[in-house]
Structure formats: structure tokens, C-alpha cells
Amino acid sequence: MNSRNALRERGSELVEFAFAVTILFTLIFGIMGFAQAAYTYHFVSSVAREATRYASVRGSACTLLPTDCPITDDEIVTYAKSLVPGGINASKLSVTPNHVNPGGSCKLPSSPGCAVSVTVQYPFAFLPMLNLPAVTMTSTSQMVISQ
């Protein structure tokens, strides 16, 4: 190889390395961001289901759990926020319980045969260091009150 050509190609390895590392880190941070988004959505979905189940077995005719029967909306919210794992900010979690009265046939909102639904919302910031706007993850679950 000519010494003149060697001098021209001297810095090309550094430039190629810079491009490769940039692409590699972009992929790594993208994978991490999407993994956090999947984790957050799974959490939101799970909390909505668990809070709805919790409310559906604590209706106005509940006799098995005398200390928690019947349950109030505030107790549903408190229970849902108690399920928050690491990596989730409980103060940003929004829980909205709603008693559904199909056809107006329910005497009380929490009587057996009526339904309860819980909507959980959480603002997810994709890669916070980029200052992108938050995406609100939402999940709603509904069950019939059993007792």
C-alpha cells in the first residue's frame, strides 16, 4: 500500500466507528424505551383488572368480608394506587371507578347484578431526556358485581 493512501485513510476508522456507535446507541435506547412502554401498559391494564375485581366482590350484599363491605369509590382508588410497582409514579396515576346501571334495574349502584368499571390512566414519557410529549396510557375494565 502506498504511504500516501495510508495517510488519506488514517481518520476513516474513527468516522466509521462514530457512525456505528450512533446507530447502535439509537437502537439500544429505542429498545429500552419500547420495553418501558410495554411495562407501563401492562401495569395500567393489570391495575384496571385488579381494581375492578376488588370492587366486584365487595358490593352492597357482601357478607364474607364484613370490614370492607360495601366498598366506596375512594377505597377502589386507594386499592388501585396501592398496586403501584417500582418505576411508576403513583401520584401521576388516575383511577376512575364507575358503577354501571344497565337498563336502570339496579336499586343501589353497588348491588349484585349491576356492573362496576374502572378506568386507569397514566402519562408515559418516552425517553424523558428527549423532552417528548407524554402519551397517556389508558385501560378500562368492567365486571358484574357478584355480591
3-state SS, residue 42: helix
pLDDT single digits (tens) 87-117: 888 889 999 998 877 666 677 777 777 888 9
CA–CA gap between residue 90 and residue 80 (Å, rounded): 10
DSSP H or E segment with residue 122: strand 115-124
**Grid cell locating 125:** 414519557
The pTM for the full model equals 0.76
- What are the residues whose beta carbons fall under 8 Å from the beta carbon of 137, sequence distance 6 or more? 37, 40, 41, 44, 121, 122, 123, 124
Of 86 and 109, more confident: 86
**Grid cell locating 96:** 376512575
Residue 117 corresponds to which amino acid?
S
Q: In the chain, helix, strand, coil percent, each to 5? A: 50, 20, 35
Contact present, 61 and 111 (Cβ < 8 Å):
yes
pLDDT single digits (tens) 27-62: 998 898 889 889 999 999 999 999 999 888 887 777
